[in-house]
Amino acid sequence: MCEMFSLEGKVAVVIGGAGAIGEILAQGLARQGAKVAIADIAFVKGEQLAKNIQSETKNEAAAFKVDLTDEKSVAQLAKDVAAKFKKIDILVNAQGVNMKYDATEFPGDAWDKMFAVNVKSLMLVCREFSKIMIPQKKGKVINLSSVRGVRATFWSGNEGYCATKGAVDMITRSLASEWAQHNINVNAIGPSTIRTPFSEKTLSDPSRLERFLASCPLKRVGEPADLVGTCIFLASSASDYITGQIIYLDGGLTAVG
């Protein structure tokens, strides 16, 4: 293992860790040496993932139940994780929902839910875990954004998702500026399509896949390993001089418009 990218002795918290992206990242961080806290409303799935990670990597992993729309639940999560692991080096915000409606029919409650989960909960998590990282005078925060925070899409129904990811980008930049004095790096990963169960609709539709690949210079869909590599880089000492950045994991899509 390259020492620069080693996470040995580090404690990583993955919010939304039982989801498709969260699970991939939790496993990847553990394989690189980190102890992992998996936080999700889906506690049973998170608990099974923690057991699998411990069995495979021999690194400590634990599941925590959290309702990300409840401020008290988020505050308690930070206290519980800190009590168990004594410190927190890496915070990954991998939570998110996407509900698609045409702009002329977008329901207000769906819009509110997307902002509650994708934006408000991210800020609440950062607020509570900063209370642990700031006294430590170190930390790495990695937010999951999207190319849709900076580019629209060919398909309808994405106004809510695009808006939430634009907000995530600006929270990332603002926190990076505010917390630099505490030696806390705050960055985001902005993927395009990654091969997960949630991308099945795009990947199984030949016309949608063809159009996606036409807009992607590398002419392929992102793989989970691509996502893990970027996350490890941002979590490790290799990225100590990088903060306030959104790294677009998109095969070149944002480079060509």
> What is the set of active-site residues?
161
Is residue 154 within 8 Å of 100, Cβ to Cβ?
no
Please state, in angstroms and rounded to a whole number, the distance separating the CA atoms of residues 181 and 242. 14
Helix (H) / strand (E) element for 90: namely strand 90-93
Q: Give the Å distances, CA to CA, from 92 to 14, 24, 200, 243, 254.
A: 5, 12, 24, 14, 23
Residue 222 pairs with which residues in a beta bridge?
194
Please state, in angstroms and rounded to a whole number, the distance separating the CA atoms of residues 38 and 78. 12
Cβ of 193: how many Cβ atoms within 10 Å?
22
Pick the closest to residue 246 from 142, 118, 127, 160 (CA basis): 142
Helix spans in the chain (H): 20-31, 43-57, 71-85, 108-115, 121-136, 159-179, 200-204, 206-214, 224-235
Pairing status of strand 35-40 against strand 139-144: unpaired
Q: Which residue has the tokens 């102890």?
A: 35
Please state, in angstroms and rounded to a whole number, the distance separating the CA atoms of residues 36 and 89. 10
